[in-house]
Structure 1
Amino acid sequence: MSSTTAAAEVPASRTEADPERVARAEPCGHVGEVSVYGWGQAPPYLRTQTQLGGERLKLADGQQPLAYLRTRDYGDVPLYDLAGAVKMKPLGSKTKAAMRRRRTCPQCGKVRTYVVRRQCDVCNRRAQQARERKQARTCWDCRKVFPRPLPKEHHRCGGCRRKQLAELRRKAAEWVERVTVCAGEECSVKLVTKKEARAHQRQQSLHWGSWSRAAHWPLRCPPCTETEDRRQADQRARREQEERERQEAERQAARARVRWAAEALVDPDVVVLDTETTGLHGTARIVEIAVLSSSGEVLLDTLVDPSGPIPAEASQLHGITTEMVAGAPAFSRVLPDLERVLEGKRCLIYNDVYDLGRLRHELTLHHLDHAARASASTTTAGAGAVAEEVREQALAAARTRAAAWVDALHVEDVMGPYSDWVGDWNDYWGNNEWQALRGGHRAAGDCRAVLDCLRAMKRSGEHEGGEGDLDEGEAL
C-alpha cells in the first residue's frame, strides 16, 4: 500500500502510523499499481486466502488484493484485508464429525490439530521409544529379550559375552602364533617373540580380532624371502609370456581375417546372399532375395510373394510393400534359380543365422506343400485322425529335407569376422559389438555392403603391409 493510504487510515487522534498497517520494507516490485513484498515484509494485517480460510473467513464479493507476496514456488500470492473478509457459513454436524474422525488418532483416541494417517506424532514417539528400550534389552547374538538393559559396551547377555571373549582370546592367540612364525610354507623359524607380539596387540586396543602387525616385523625368514621372490618373478615372467602369446595370437587372427577377406574378393566361387523378410519373428516370410558374385555381378535379384500382407513396420524398414510383391513369384518358383546360382559356391552371408533360418522356413513350407498335394488323393476329408497323422509325418519330412538342403550349403558368416576386425569392444557382453550393415535394407544393396566390408578389411591389410603379396589388379 502507498504511504498516503496508510496515513489516511490512521485515526485523527493519533500522531503516529499504526504499526500493523505499515510495511516492514519497501516493495520489491508492482503488479499493475499494487505493491509486491518479499517474505515477511508485507503489512501484518494482510492475509492470504488460505490464511483467511484458517480463521473461518472468506473473501467478500468484489474484494480486491491490497498487496502481493512474492514466493519462490507459487509466484506472487495476493494478500487481502482481514477486516474486509466475511465469516464462512458454519459447518454442518456431519462435516464436523468427519473432520474430527480424520484428526482422531486410532491408537490413543485423542483429537489432534492435523490429519492423522496411522497414528499421531505422540504415539509415534512412544512407539519409537518402546522399540529403543526393547533393543537395549535384546542380546545382539542370541536375540533374547531381558528385563534390564544390557551393557552398552557389548550389548550381550552373560553367556554370549563369555562366548565372545573366548572367541576373541582364540583369535588373539592365533594372531600371535601367526605373526611370530615365518610365513613360508613348512617353515617354523621364529621371527618375533610372543611377548613382543602380545605387547603390540595390547597397544592397539582392538576388541574384534583385527590386529595389524608392526611395520618393522619381517614376514618371512631370509631363505623363504628369496624363495618367495623367485616364485613371484616366475609368475610375472609366465604372465608376460602369456600376454605376448595372446597378443601374437590376436595378430595372427587379424592377419587371417584380412587374408580371408582378400581371398574371398578374388575367388570366382564366392557369392553373397541376402534376404528381406516380413519381420524378425520365427515365422517371417521372405519378400526379396538377392545373390551377387564376388565381383559384384547380380546373379539373382527378385521380389518374392510371401502369400500374405507385409506388416507396416517391416515395410518402413526395407520399403517393400504388399502392392510391390503382388504378382511376384513365390519362393517355390525362385528356388530352382537359387539352387543354380548357389551350386558349388562359397555362400557369404552377413548374420547367417537369421538368413539361413528364413531359408529353412521357406523350404519347409515348400516341401510341405508338395507333400500335401501328393497326399490329397489318398486321404479323405472324413478321416480326421488319419489326416492329422499324415500332416505330422509330412511336416517332419519337410523339416528334414529343408535342414538337409541348408546343411549342404557352404556358408560363411561375414558379421563375426567384420565385427572382430572393427574391434568395438563391449565390456558388458565380453565381446566385440556387432556392426550394423549399411546397405539400405534391400537385398542387393546389402550384398554390395557386404562386399564393401570385405574391401575395407583387405585395404587395411595392404596399408599395414600384411598383404603385400596382393597385386594391384586385385585391389578394388
Structure 2
Amino acid sequence: MDPDDVTQWDHWLDHLVDGAPVQLVRPSDTDRPTWAAYEETRYLGTVHGQFDFDGRWHVQSLNERHLNLDDAVRALRRPATWAADRERVRRWARNTLSDPRLLVLDIQTTGLDTAWAVQIGVTDRDGNALFDELVNPLADITPEATALHGLAPNQLASAPTFDTLLPDLAHLLANRCCLAYNADFDRAVLEREIHRLPQLARTNWATLHPRTWTDAMAPYAAWKGLWSARHCSYRYQPLGGIYEAVTNCRRLLSTMRHMC
C-alpha cells in the first residue's frame, strides 16, 4: 500500500496522533477515501482525503481543510471551549494591535539553543522597519541555522557587533510593548548578549528595557485550535514564511490582523 495514495488505504486503520490511538473506519456504502474517526468508542467526526489547492484532508463538519491527517484529527479533538478560547484570542490580538507603544521584534541566531544574534529586526505596528541590522555574532554559526536564514560567517565579518548596536536598540525598545513569536527565545538571546558585555553596558540596559513582552505563539496555537492529546493543550504552530527578521515581523503582524 502506497502511504501517499489514500485511495489504496484499508477500510480499517489504527493510527497514532500525539501518542493517542485513533481508529479510522471507512463507511460500508462508499469506496471513496473517507473515514469515520473514533477515539475508543467516541466518534470524533469524518475526514475526507482530497487533493486540492486548499489542503489534503477535508473535515466536513468543521468546514476545514488540513495538509495532513494528523492535523485533521487534532482539529476534531479540540475541546468544547475552543469557540470561547478563540474569541479571547481575537480580543487579545485586537487590544495588542491597538497599543500605540507596540513594537514587533524578531531575531535570527547562530543556532537553535544558547544562540547569539546574527540579525535583529524591529517594526512598528504598521510594519514600518525601525531597526534592521545584521550582527557579527563573534561566534560560530551552525549549518542548521545557516540553512534556515542563509547567513554564513563570511557574510557577517564586517557587520557591527551587538555592543555597537545596543544604544540604538535600547532606546528604541525602552518602555515599549515588545511583541514576538516565541518571545522567551528572543528575550533570552538579548539577555545573553547583554550578559557578555562590560558592566557599564549592562547597567545602561537595565534602565532601557521594554515595558512588557508579549508572546503570540500560545494565542496563535489556540486560534488554530489543533489539540495535542499528549500535552493536553493546543499544539504550537509554525508561523511560516522565510527566516528574515523584518519579514518575520511583518508576517506576525499580518497573522495578528487575521486573528482579529
With normalisation by structure 1, the TM-score equals 0.36
- Contact map agreement 1:346 1:410 (CA 8 A) in 2: yes
Structure 1 residue corresponding to 2:239, chosen from 429, 432, 437: 437
In 2, Cα distance between equivalents of 1:273 and 1:256:
23
Provide the residue aligned with 1:232 in structure 2: none
In 1, Cα distance between equivalents of 2:209 and 2:124:
21
Structure 2 residue corresponding to 1:452, chosen from 237, 247, 254: 254
User: Measured at CA, do residues 330 and 265 of structure 1 come closer, stay the same or move farther in structure 2, by a change above 3 Å?
Assistant: same
What is the CA-CA distance between 1:262 and the residue it aligns to? 2.0
Query: What are the residue-to-residue correspondences of 1:155-166 with 2, within 5 Å?
Result: none
What amino acid does structure 2 have at the position aligned with 1:427?
Answer: A
User: Measured at CA, do residues 429 and 416 of structure 1 come closer, stay the same or move farther in structure 2, by a change above 3 Å?
Assistant: same
SS of residue paired to 2:145? helix
Q: Give the paired residue count.
A: 182
Alpha-carbon deviations, 1:288-333, whole Å to 9, x = none? 0010111000010100111133222211111111122121111111
Give the helix-richer structure, 1 or 2.
1
In 2, Cα distance between equivalents of 1:313 and 1:326:
19
In 2, Cα distance between equivalents of 1:336 and 1:407:
11
In 1, Cα distance between equivalents of 2:205 and 2:171:
18
Larger Rg: 1
- Contact map agreement 1:360 1:403 (CA 8 A) in 2: no
Higher relative contact order, chain-length normalized (CA < 8 Å, sep 6+): 2
What is the CA-CA distance between 1:366 and the residue it aligns to? 1.5
SS of residue paired to 1:366? coil
What amino acid does structure 1 have at the position aligned with 2:86?
Answer: A
In 1, Cα distance between equivalents of 2:110 and 2:255:
26
What is the CA-CA distance between 1:411 and the residue it aligns to? 0.4
Provide the residue aligned with 1:338 in structure 2: 169
What is the CA-CA distance between 1:367 and the residue it aligns to? 3.1
Q: Does 1:425 align with 2:256?
A: no
**RMSD, aligned α-carbons:** 2.4
Query: What are the residue-to-residue correspondences of 1:49-68 with 2, within 5 Å?
Result: none
Query: What are the residue-to-residue correspondences of 1:223-302 with 2, within 5 Å?
Result: 251-282=83-114, 284-302=115-133
Query: What are the residue-to-residue correspondences of 1:319-330 with 2, within 5 Å?
Result: 319-330=150-161
What amino acid does structure 1 have at the position aligned with 2:224?
Answer: V
Task: For structure 1, list consecutive stretches of 5 or more residues without a partner in the other structure.
Answer: 1-245, 372-397, 459-476
Task: For structure 2, list consecutive stretches of 5 or more residues without a partner in the other structure.
Answer: 1-78
Structure 1 residue corresponding to 2:136, chosen from 294, 305, 326: 305
Provide the residue aligned with 1:221 in structure 2: none
What is the CA-CA distance between 1:408 and the residue it aligns to? 5.4
User: Measured at CA, do residues 277 and 457 of structure 1 come closer, stay the same or move farther in structure 2, by a change above 3 Å?
Assistant: same
| Residues 300-309 or 249-258, more deviating | 249-258
- Contact map agreement 1:439 1:447 (CA 8 A) in 2: no
In 1, Cα distance between equivalents of 2:86 and 2:208:
29
SS of residue paired to 1:317? helix
Q: What percent of counterpart residues are identical?
A: 35
What is the CA-CA distance between 1:403 and the residue it aligns to? 9.3
User: Measured at CA, do residues 442 and 344 of structure 1 come closer, stay the same or move farther in structure 2, by a change above 3 Å?
Assistant: same
With normalisation by structure 2, the TM-score equals 0.64
User: Measured at CA, do residues 433 and 403 of structure 1 come closer, stay the same or move farther in structure 2, by a change above 3 Å?
Assistant: farther
